[in-house]
């Protein structure tokens, strides 16, 4: 469709936190940096992706407080794409799995996050489903 690569539409240098980080600290980071998600990483690489929605639905709605470790509220082993993958393929992966963000890994190292908002901003949205809520860019 667009011929764009993921690296052209992704948000670079994603915030990365270890699984033991308190969700209160993650929420503050999101607010301060104006992002909607962060990657959870440990010595093996990306082990999760947590969004503002995850904080509300998996943490607060289950009566867990700001001292809860983010590792428990993150989506385990998020879907990933590479920076040289076609942006259309990332959009299709999100559509097929009803997710709004995927991690971007290069040689196993997180280099970005691409969201539905990033794709929409790049006009790669014609095939995005109505059942996946369009989130703003990960900024």
* CATH 3.30.70.890 for domain 6-121: no
Give the whole-number percent of the chain exceeding pLDDT 90: 57
pLDDT of res. 62: 83
Verdict on whether the full-model pTM lies above 0.85 = no
Tokens linked to 112: 């970005």
pLDDT of res. 137: 54
pLDDT of res. 74: 66
pLDDT of res. 90: 95
Q: Where are the beta strands (DSSP E) in 1-139?
A: 11-12, 16-17, 37-42, 45-51, 75-76, 80-81, 101-106, 109-115
Taking the C-alpha atoms of 60, 100, 36 and 8 in order, what is their torsion angle to the nearest 10 degrees?
170
Q: Domain ranges in the chain?
A: 6-121
Q: Are 99 and 132 in contact (CB under 8 A)?
A: yes
The H-assigned helical ranges of 56-135 are: 87-97, 116-121
């Amino acid at each position: 469709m667009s011929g764009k690569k993921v690296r052209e539409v992704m948000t670079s240098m994603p915030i990365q936190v270890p699984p033991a980080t308190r969700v209160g600290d993650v929420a503050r980071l999101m607010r301060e940096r104006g992002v909607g998600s962060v990657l959870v990483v440990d010595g093996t690489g990306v082990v999760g992706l947590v969004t503002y929605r995850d904080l509300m639905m998996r943490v607060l709605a289950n009566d867990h407080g700001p001292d809860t470790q983010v590792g428990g509220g993150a989506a385990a082993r998020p879907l990933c794409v590479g920076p040289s993958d076609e942006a259309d393929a990332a959009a299709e992966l999100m559509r097929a799995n009803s997710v709004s963000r995927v991690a971007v890994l290069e040689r196993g190292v997180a280099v970005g996050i691409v969201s539905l908002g990033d794709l929409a901003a790049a006009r790669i949205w014609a095939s995005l489903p109505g059942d996946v809520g369009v989130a703003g860019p990960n900024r």
